[in-house]
A and B are shown apart, each in its own frame.
Chain A
Amino acid sequence: MDRFYFDHNATTPVSPEVLEALSGVLGEVYGNASSIHHYGQAAKQRLEQARREVAALLNADAGEIVFVSGGTEADNLAVLGVVRASGKPRKHVVTTAIEHPAVLNACAQLEREGVEVSYAAPDQVLRAIRPETVLVSVMHANNELGTLQPVAEIARIARQAGVLMHSDGVQAAGRIGVDVKALGVDLYSISGHKMYAPKGIGALYVRKGVELAPLMYGGHHERGLRAGTENVPGAVGLGRAAAWARENPATGLAALRDRLERGILERVPDTAVNGTGAPRVPNTTNIRFDGIDGEAMAIALDLRGFAVSGGAACSSGAVEPSHVLTAIGLTKEQARSSLRFSLGRGNDQSQVDALIEAVAAAAAHLRRLSPTYHA
């Protein structure tokens, strides 16, 4: 059976050029980047080259990039790091209800530590800012819907109010152009494995002058913000992926995604796109199929060779429907009947057309059996 991958928001394959870059370092560049000798210097050189490439992708300075283990650590370092470094006697954080659990659960931990957190709708974030607010965290592109949040607008007001602004850019970097200076953010998270680099590497942009408390204690790696021997191969992979993304904007995916979306809406009645009316990253569409259990549909498609997701990969198997879909106003049943299709480099038109056929067949079969669907 041919298999096709349409779940790039969960993770991406390591691309050929990243694999090549990795194989160049994994075997040979084994020095500790903190060592003074030749081996250490060779590693350090590769590490700093990677840092410059990641910085270039975000229009940041190399000194503003901290390598971490991935998006979750980047988000935790930003959220916990800012609040714990703040000297304010009372602290308050504003975020949104549609954030990734890496932000939401970091905020939940802050609440346990006595910090107040407001979970606002994206368009209500500014109203939630108070004198004691120390951080606003709003994701750039939503992982389930692909929708872009008005980060620049929020960041501008936050800066006027003297509040630091973090954005989780894990689903945006590599898919749309990201310019942290134009966005006006103080902190920005990215993850390697969402942009064709391996798992286990990510980065946090920390604007010069922003104070952060580290999450871990150890050596003085990464300007004292991230203790632990540097993951040089991971960083090299992320650097190579960043360079490739800069040279190859993912704009072409929009046509493919639109073809998929149009095809499904035309072929399958009683379907709708979730999260329309907002600009989106070019690779993502989230579609609901009335009367269909999204979990069953995802399995039926997998058995036909198509990998898609019923929501965020992390929430698969959870009882509660996606917090993102219910936050944008879907009922629980609508949220449960939704599927996410996220495209990437490996997809082409013939795969998309085959996926449309498979979706139409699976939807028709499931609806014949559905107790709640009547055409």
Chain B
Amino acid sequence: MSGGVDSSTVAALLQRSGESVVGLTMQLWNQRRLPELASATASGRCCSLDDVYDARRVAERLAIPYYVVNFERDFEQQVVRPFIDEYLAGRTPIPCTLCNNFLKFDRFLDFAAGVGATRIATGHYARIGWHANAGRHQLLRGVDSAKDQTYFLFGLTQAQLARTMFPLGEYTKPRVRELARELGLEVAEKSDSQEICFVPNGDYAAFMSAYFREQGIEPPGARGEIVTADGRVLGRHEGIHNFTVGQRKGLGIATGEPLYVIATDAATQRVVVGRDPDLLRRRLSARQVNWISIAPPAGPLRAQVKIRNKHTAAAATVYPAPDADGVEIEFDQPQRAVTPGQAAVMYAGDVVLGGGWIE
């Protein structure tokens, strides 16, 4: 229970349906750290005292046992540090997926089992189905396509799905707020949390600088060149971690036509820029592929593939690599800003087939 409307409504719905419910809040990040990031506008950061207070109030109202459990150490090791390392390697990470894979549906699921829970329920907008013929649990998009969170859940395994419930997958967000109101939850009108819970105002570069200072780590500060694809130097930059593929703002270059980041290269510390059409790609490869709703396929298959959370899934052919760990994906139409570090998640309609990390 994060103290937000979604997980609070989950707790209330389950309790109303007669389940024996225990509320748990994961304490993931100590908000007293990195004080220079604190500002009056930085509301909705994860694990604030206000959020824990709200979660506790909901549990109190529902008269369910409630505990705050500390996962700060794991969160830093499994999410925050890899998040930073990815940026330094010139990639654009998805910390929510790391958190789902290594904390929520791993350490936390085990913790919940340890205290006696048979399953965990979260406020994710996704559904879990059962495919009797295949004998497999399936991960399905939530009915609210605007809120669907399956993109972040592609790492889930059959064993994890068997012990997980996503009650909100059947509802739209407005309906969830209505339910929260009907259930008398004070958090019904609370605003949605921001995208990366531990990064205030989405300013990940400021977060990284503050973290380096706190840890006494010399900021990489590897300045480098901003170049065109054919090697023309247009300017200089303060570190490739400040750039992500598709980015237009913050290049500090005045040219006649808009320029976009089309690649970053950790080895040379170069940021490659180009025109909008230069961002288009037909092919990508993905590694560490997890097949969820189907067994690993033997040959090529057709799918709709999402390459970032806000991307509209596009038709593609998926070629499993011989080593089974990777896939090559060829889109029917070129896609804009294929970004290393993001995930390629493969769908058949509402069914999540699987996903992997873009190389």
Contact = CB atoms under 8 A, between A and B. Distances in A.
- If over half of B's interface residues share one DSSP class (helix, strand or loop), that class is named, otherwise mixed; here it is mixed
A318 B70 contact: yes
Contact of A319 (B65, B70, B116): B70
B68 A317 contact: yes
Interface residues of B, number: 16
A369 B115 contact: no
B158 interface: no
Contact of B114 (A302, A318, A369): A369
B120 to A, nearest CB: 14
B111 A317 contact: no
Given A302-B65, A303-B22, A303-B65, A317 B114 contact: no
B30 interface: yes
A300 B65 contact: no
Interface in B57-103: 65, 67-70, 72-73
Interface in A275-303: 293, 295-297, 299-300, 302-303
A302 B65 CA distance: 9
Interface in B140-177: none
A293 B111 contact: yes
A300 B30 contact: no
A128 interface: no
B276 interface: no
A365 interface: yes
A366 interface: yes
Given A300-B116, A303-B115, A365-B114, A295 B30 contact: no
- If over half of A's interface residues share one DSSP class (helix, strand or loop), that class is named, otherwise mixed; here it is helix
A369 B70 contact: no
Interface string A317-361: 111000000000000000000000000000000000000000000
B115 A319 contact: no
Nearest to A319: B72
Contacts of A300: 114-116
A369 B69 CA distance: 18
Given A303-B22, A303-B65, A317-B70, A296 B111 contact: yes
Given A366-B114, A369-B110, A299 B69 contact: yes
Contacts of B68: 317
Nearest to B70: A317
Nearest to B68: A317
A291 to B, nearest CB: 11
B114 A319 contact: no
Q: Which of A317, A318, A369 has the most CB of B within 10 A?
A: A317
B72 A365 contact: no
A296 B70 contact: no
A295 B65 contact: no
Contacts of A319: 30, 70, 72-73
Contacts of A296: 69, 111, 114-115
B113 interface: yes
Given A293-B111, A319-B30, A365-B116, A299 B70 contact: no
B66 to A, nearest CB: 10
Nearest to B22: A303
A312 B27 CA distance: 18
Contacts, number: 37
A25 B66 CA distance: 36
A365 B110 CA distance: 11
A369 B113 contact: yes
Nearest to B114: A296
A297 B114 CA distance: 8
A296 B114 CA distance: 6
Q: Which of A293, A296, A369 has the most CB of B within 10 A?
A: A296
Contacts of B27: 317
Nearest to A301: B115
B114 A293 contact: yes
Contacts of B116: 300, 303, 365
B104 to A, nearest CB: 16
Contacts of B72: 319
A113 B70 CA distance: 33
Contacts of B67: 299, 302
Nearest to B72: A319
Contacts of B110: 369, 371
A295 B113 CA distance: 13
Contacts of A317: 27, 68, 70
Nearest to B20: A303
A303 B116 CA distance: 8
Interface string A104-144: 00000000000000000000000000000000000000000
A361 B323 CA distance: 44
Interface string A36-60: 0000000000000000000000000
A316 to B, nearest CB: 8
Interface in B222-272: none
B251 to A, nearest CB: 39
Q: Which of B27, B30, B72, B115 has the most CB of A within 10 A?
A: B115
A32 B283 CA distance: 83
Nearest to B111: A296
Contact of B70 (A295, A302, A365): A295
Nearest to A367: B114
A317 B69 CA distance: 6
A295 B22 contact: no
A303 B67 CA distance: 11
Contacts of A371: 110
Given A317-B27, A317-B68, A319-B30, A299 B115 contact: yes
A360 B65 CA distance: 22
Contacts of A365: 114, 116
Contacts of B113: 369
A296 B110 CA distance: 10
Contacts of B115: 296, 299-300, 303
Contacts of A370: 114
Nearest to A299: B115
A297 B116 CA distance: 10
A122 to B, nearest CB: 29
In the A-B complex, the 9 residue pairs with the closest CB atoms: A296-B114, A299-B115, A300-B115, A319-B72, A366-B114, A299-B67, A317-B70, A369-B114, A296-B115
Interface of A: 293, 295-297, 299-300, 302-303, 317-319, 365-366, 369-371
8 contacts: A300-B114, A300-B115, A302-B67, A303-B65, A303-B115, A317-B68, A319-B72, A371-B110
Given A319-B70, A369-B114, 13 more contacts: A293-B111, A296-B111, A297-B114, A300-B115, A302-B65, A302-B67, A303-B116, A317-B27, A317-B68, A366-B114, A369-B110, A369-B113, A370-B114
